[in-house]
Amino acid sequence: MTFDAFDTWWWPFLFILVAGWLATDFWRYLGVYLGGHLSEDSDLLVLVRAVATALVAAVIGNLIVFPSGALAGTTLALRTAAAAAGFLAYLFLGRRILIGILVAEALLVAGLHLGG
């Protein structure tokens, strides 16, 4: 089965749905199964958390340095300042993720309106 196997309008949607489900849910179910059997302080879970954190950091870094869509219309300085301000707000205003996101978004929106 390939993406172009059938010439119907619904096939690409079904293909993406099934392929996306198979690629992600297997790991979710395995994580739930193994997660109940592992200690929270085990070396394996520490490694999994470190890799997950590194992947999120890499995605954020990629969005800052190589943006697409609406972010491509902003400067690197604005994107970097928004990320830094959001992180600082997260740290100093109670370690609330939503606060950090809102501060970064507000800075990006203000920069877009002032710059263009």
Whether residue 73 sits in one domain with residue 98: yes
Number of residues assigned to the chain:
116
Domain that holds residue 29: 1-37
Alpha-carbon distance of 78 to 82, in angstroms, equals 6
- What count of other Cβ atoms lies within 10 Å of the Cβ of residue 63? 14
Q: Are residues 33 and 81 in the same domain?
A: no
The answer on 56 and 11 residing in a single domain is no
Based on the fold, state whether residues 10 and 54 are members of the same structural domain.
no
What is residue 74's predicted lDDT score, i.e. its pLDDT?
92
- pLDDT per residue over 11-54, tens digit each? 888 888 888 888 888 888 888 887 778 888 889 888 988 999 99
- What is the phi/psi pair of residue 71, to 5°? -65, -25
For the chain, what is the domain count?
A: 2
The answer on 63 and 7 residing in a single domain is: no
Same domain, 44 and 33: no
> In this structure, are 58 and 108 located in the same domain?
yes
User: Could you give the CA distance from residue 23 to residue 46 in angstroms, rounded to a whole number?
Assistant: 23
Asked whether residue 33 falls in the same domain as residue 67, the answer is no
pTM over 0.75: no
Residues 58 and 69 in one domain: yes
